[in-house]
Amino acid sequence: MKILFDANLSPALVTGLRAEYPGSTHVRDVNLRSAPDTQIWEYAKTHGFAIASKDTDFRERSFVEGFPPKVIWLDVGNAGTAQILALLQNEQQRVETFAGATDASLLILSIGASAV
């Protein structure tokens, strides 16, 4: 699954997850860092990306508009990049299953309270 990482996530995730999520990118790298959510949504939809974000805006939009694009909401609080990287590596199989699901628009990945 190709992931478009939202501005609230580190661009370093793209490099760190290159093996697990080939073709992924960050909004910064496609000149969408300051773009409105509607523009990011349309870019992801047009180019076959899922959107990963810590922000609830895309989560809520997925409830209203469905998919594509699919949304991975990272319920991680103030977790750092290393913790988010580990979460996405550990949950790769779940993300791939979600990618192939024909009836799901949102995947919520969480870090346990003790890990944050």
Annotated domain spans of the chain? 3-115
Mean pLDDT within 19-29: 97
Cβ 85 vs Cβ 11: under 8 Å: no
The angle subtended at Cα 17 by Cα 112 and Cα 28, nearest 5°, is 100
**What confidence tens digit (pLDDT) does each residue in 43-79 have?**
999 999 999 999 899 999 999 998 999 999 999 988 9
Q: Quote the pLDDT of residue 116.
A: 33
The overall pTM is greater than 0.85? yes
Q: Cβ–Cβ contacts within 10 Å for residue 8, how many?
A: 12
Q: Please choose, from the candidates 48, 75, 45, the residue with its C-alpha nearest in 3D space to the C-alpha of residue 62.
A: 45
**CA-to-CA dists, residue 21 to 18, 25, 59, 78, angstroms:** 5, 9, 20, 23
What's the whole-number average pLDDT of the chain? 93
Residue 74 tokens read as 């990272």
Q: Quote the pLDDT of residue 115.
A: 39
Q: Quote the pLDDT of residue 67.
A: 93
Q: Cβ–Cβ contacts within 10 Å for residue 103, how many?
A: 6
